[in-house]
Structure 1
């Protein structure tokens, strides 16, 4: 075990945070109105008394951003966690399906699945994770039948007061970052570096976002609004839900 140098963490964040921001922009730039309109509930917009094309577009795009950013940043944090664990315990990204990180400490092989937050999955998803842990243990023990293996579900933020789940341990927030680093305060110490060039990068994102809203609003008006400017709900519903479309 090596002591974590926070300068290494700051340098990693500075060198890699741009990837997160670039993927945010790419997620917006790749959007197609024709596709996302099919994924949303037009009845909900009507029930909420939505009257303008821009309201509909912002609702659709904002929902997409919220979902995609959680995924994109979760993947980015996974990379940070692997980097930190590598520095401290020599941890590596696992080659086993469903396992993100492996490391050895005190004669124990830890296999870790990393999630963004504690409420990441329903019962079937958790059951699948447990099955993945069992498969991973079998795989690892083919070369060493005596290997002591402990499975961990690590969550980058949040809390779980009962980490022992029987088949695995669930470490959230402070517990997780301390587990992979040996540093009890790491969960607080990483917050400042994450703001590196945040305003500059967010300004670039907002330009893409604004262009997207304007472009989609224009497209929606031309396709799904009457000459009077009123939303043509019947036409929108047929596009979204008709069996012949």
Structure 2
């Protein structure tokens, strides 16, 4: 295994963390009030006793930001894992569906699927991953030069033990995963510092845009979903979010 230098890590993270911030800003800029109201659970926010338009709009937006950031940053971590494996193991990005990268060690071909965190998939997604692994293995075994094929599910953070999952893939999590791809026991802590590159500056731009949206959405929300006295019209919100019963539906479901 080749070593990856701290300067290589810092250079990659510093360069690509800006892309993360750019993508989260794009996601924020692509948000509209009606989209938020359609996708978020109005019953939950009513149960939280949110009584002002500003509180409600902020909560809707924060929920949207949280889910989108997890997805965007997960992609960053997955790409970082590929970069490290390319440097240390000569890994290559896989052309197989559901497989992120591949590398060989001795006579074994390792096929690695990378996920950000442990809570990445439901039963259908696990079935799809199994199918992807089976298809990739089948193609590889058609070659006379391929020996044993092993599948690894790399999880970028978390403390779960390394274990065989569903009888077909070895789940390697957190420190163990970063050790697998880097050969460095401390690698999982070494990548934390460069993540802060220009964080204050880039977050200030993000927060400025978020504040603008909250102010705009609050005004739009009051105009459309509050009465003349400023009271939130929860019934109207629920109807906008979930009202879909047609005459045909009524007949069929009666």
- Give the TM-score taking structure 1 as reference length: 0.95
User: Are 2:170 and 1:169 equivalent residues in the alignment?
Assistant: yes
CA distance, structure 2, for counterparts of residue 92 and residue 213 of structure 1: 43
Give how far 1:95 is off. Answer: 1.0
User: Contact 1:151–1:167 (CA<8 Å) still a contact in 2?
Assistant: yes
SS in 2 for 1:164: strand
SS in 2 for 1:169: strand
- Taking only aligned residues, the RMSD between alpha carbons, in angstroms, comes to 1.6
Q: Is the 8 A contact 2:96 2:132 kept in 1?
A: no
Task: Report the alpha carbon displacement of residue 119 of structure 1 after superposing the two structures with TM.
Answer: 2.2
Whole-Å separation in 1 of the counterparts to 2:188 and 2:114: 15
Corresponding residue for residue 125 of structure 2: 125
Q: CA deviation at 1:77?
A: 0.8
Give 1:59 shift. Answer: 1.3
1:149-170 Cα offsets, whole Å, 9 max, x none, are 1100000000222423331110
> Which stretches of structure 1, 4 residues or more, deviate above 4 A after TM superposition?
none
Q: Contact 1:118–1:159 (CA<8 Å) still a contact in 2?
A: no
What is residue 86 of structure 1 aligned with on the other side? Answer: 86
Please report the TM-score for the alignment, with normalisation by the length of structure 2: 0.92
**Is this contact kept in 2: 1:90–1:103, CA < 8 A?**
yes
* Contact 2:107–2:146, Cα closer than 8 Å, also in 1: no
> Are 1:4 and 1:183, in contact at CA under 8 Å, matched by a contact in 2?
no
Distance 2:15 2:44 in 1: 42
- Report how many aligned residue pairs link the two structures: 245
Cα distance in 1 between the residues matched to 2:146 and 2:194: 41
Question: Which sections of structure 1, spanning at least 5 residues, go unmatched?
Answer: none
> Hey, what does 1:159 align to over in structure 2?
159
1:226 aligns with 2:235: no
Query: Following the alignment from structure 1 to structure 2, what is the Cα–Cα distance between the partners of residues 59 and 144?
Result: 57
> What residue number does 2:212 align with?
211
Q: 2:245, 2:218 → 1: CA distance?
A: 25
In the TM superposition, what are the counterparts of 1:59-70 in structure 2 within 5 Å? Answer: 59-70=59-70
Counterpart check, 1:108 vs 2:108: yes
